[in-house]
Structure 1
């Protein structure tokens, strides 16, 4: 056996014993810390605390066990084994004996060493320390379990803040408490509120504990617009509970309407927001040489936490031109980090998904939050990984230029603008020749896009745009059109349009071009002209000068896309047949007026406008009680679009309870004004004439 193996054999029992002893001392405090965190904070925090504490204990136990090294072994053997004659160092050393005497002594000591057992060197268990630590931890756990918490037993009541005067024999609220128990998925603790107004997560359970003086007989919680809640007696207190699925207004009525009207209280239910997914990787990534995998990065955030697992939707587009095949699949992915801010960085191997050159991989992360039941699901942005085809691009013999084009769904005017802006941002870090090549490449994409739009103009804009002074479109040899060969001598028929056009010109009324109305056609021609200007600047290495033309082209394209008028072939009218038997008879049976009735515009804010006028000082004002029932219905119908429907309902109730309260009427009128739809804009005066228009008007006046 080698010296190293012999050393490990003798120190392993001691190291294992000390490692286990350290963990045994650490486990009771870890258990106590976990239970205390669970009872006082939350389950998630308790799990995190237990995990971190256990990892620290493992590292500490390993470090302590490594103290049993070679020096410790030699000292221990020399002190506990007299027969080794203080010569243990001769056995557990890597150096060769310096003399024959040392070699002889080493063989003698090695024979005596085998008479012992390595287990005898293991240190004893720390029984006393383990007992003290265990008893202390048990005491802490028992104290935490027996300590009164806010969610156990009757809560501590706070003095009432109703502010109502005391009347003999009429019960009134003197103490109150509102316990809020959020849903378990939120991880929020149970809390007590001394006031009866609160903002709570949607789905929270509310528990009221109230006390009255003198003792009430049948108190209730009057829900504004809903059924009242009856309180049940528990000793000297009255208790009620409800789930806050939506916001509501209520008041505490201890005397069944016999006393003064209590004030309204408000509970706002905060809706759980859906998770947010953000891409941490560029939206378009190009595969680098030698790359065999891809790790797109996403960040998912939520107010109460994102689920640890998500789904990654992967779409593959393999092929070129018309031979493109698509496939889609979803794989589960796991996130890391805090539940409210998780990071998802899946590793995608190209060989696993069959991703090859000439294809695109589009990934989209689908996450869920921790809401229970019905978790909310959100789809993140799409990220694209492109693997260019290894084939050499074809060159055109006419232009002598090589253009690398993108797939059709990326060659858009907006994408060209994005590419130009990206190139301008990276100008400082790119070599001049590389900068010029990328600019020319974008110019090639602009040329392809211009050709696609030029087909709707009959191919007329394949060359430079017309000068502003051009009065018409002339056709001549070398103008870029295919005029064909010389005209064939065939007999002409007088008046035949086709023969005249075939001999002296060529048509431009292909079906795509003839489907546009003149106005849309003119806008499209302007877009193509701007594309030509952008292409020219790009191919000459001036993307900064091409950017304004690209933006103008995009604006014209949007106008064309919004155009709805097209030319249709003319067809004859399909009128009903004329009944000749009724002619000249004077019979008018079955005839009706064809005049359309004028339908008045339906005002949706009619009840609100009527109440606003009634609360004012005009001729329609009402000084006394106002019928607010139509206004209540209007608020319930339009609650989704109102800025604060609960505040408006509370103001309506205040005016109903005190019709003569000037402050209540003013507040309700102000809320109505903010809630009603804004009136349509008035007629705008025509803008004054500019210099050109003024000269035109002067010429007209002079001519008259």
Structure 2
């Protein structure tokens, strides 16, 4: 009935007066209905409940410590701490003078009167007599009505760098997204006489008059925030903060598909090495090449020579952004590499960025020719064996070489695989011979019988304990099994024996260690009866030092703004002190808002609140929105050591002792 009466009343008044609200008489009826429904909702909302009384006590009685609502809870469901607090609140209310509840009757009638006054004013004033408010373009500050200073809109022309091949575009939005190096030009429609654009990078761009528009331009170097400021007749108007997001041009990614790692070549084999490279870039790859270094010689006579090789594009790679495949052939023989020499190289590519291109590089690949100059052959059981090298390879290194050979087996030719397996078997044989001498085994070296182990010489006698020698003999047996399988091109079967030999060697090292008891000097005994309390303490000063380090707080202006917004003394009109505090907080938030969307929204909320404070107008919900955003912008607090607070009564003492004991 209430809604129907409102509709009929609004329609009748509108038709009788011949007035319009919005576009049709029905709009007047809708407004009347809205006001009546709001009045009814206001009456229901302001009925006094127990929760209202508890909140009223929290605001007016400090002794209850804002815990009056605990009296409304079921005591059996409260925690021990909440029960203690409930007892304190009960005692405080029994001794405190209870304040009277506010009378809400007058406020209800006042609200209803205001609602009727607004409805009458809206319904009885013709729409043609109400002023028209000029709305600004999307994202700008609210323009002032009539002939006041205003910003009507903007056109932003964006011209990306030519090397990106991106099209130029024109937009009416204040927020801009483009690539670094783009040219930006703003054309602002406003009735201002002059203006400027202020950026978070510290630049100030004056707006120049161009016909009926104000224009300014900039070459984008990176992401930033900017703000428009216009003036007319000594009046100043600032827009919201807007974002200019510039994406950086990334360096090219380049990978050598083949070969990879370290590759050995026989001197008599083919020394032409095909190289395949894959490169990609966000706006296209420019130049690419192989950069290498040739090393020849050994020891102090080693020589280095730089070399580069061009890469030829073979095909496009649609699976990656602007990806291409390139190839080259490296002829090691044409480069003058001899046995023992190496070539290590990497691929290098640049993009099309101007004036300074980005450069990317790949991992390094090693190509080496096997050195046969330090290898001689001797007959041992019908198999070729390399004589003692300059340094023995350890059992762990033999395991690493075997596992690497197994991992590369699918990419190696059969003869290369067999040669490498036999080489590892030779290394295993040499290591076995070295440990065999320690165990007292007989060794053979070609056809010279004098090269064997001589037991009649004192320096060749082994001094190992029986337990250590037994473990060494077991390790030698495992090495022999591994050697047989490596020499017969079965490295996968040799690997378990290699691991068992390593474990036995480690165990032997632990067994052979000798431990002696640590001894120290015996100091001269003191005579306490003669020397006690006879020293002079005049020159001894206290070594205790107390330093107080003041750690600067992060975002001090934001903290001051939070304190100002939390103060109950905030005035509803113009507040110069609060305005200055908000502007300082804006300056601190601007660098954070360049990349963080949440900080950017907080910055806009602060700017909106500052505008309302400057104009002396109300901003419902602004303080709560700004306060929440400022709290979220603060970094996490650092935990500091705190002194234990004294426990005054036995109950609290027992409570905290129980908590400490449960940790």
TM-score norm. by structure 1 comes to: 0.47
Higher strand share: 2
Structure 2-normalised TM-score?
0.50
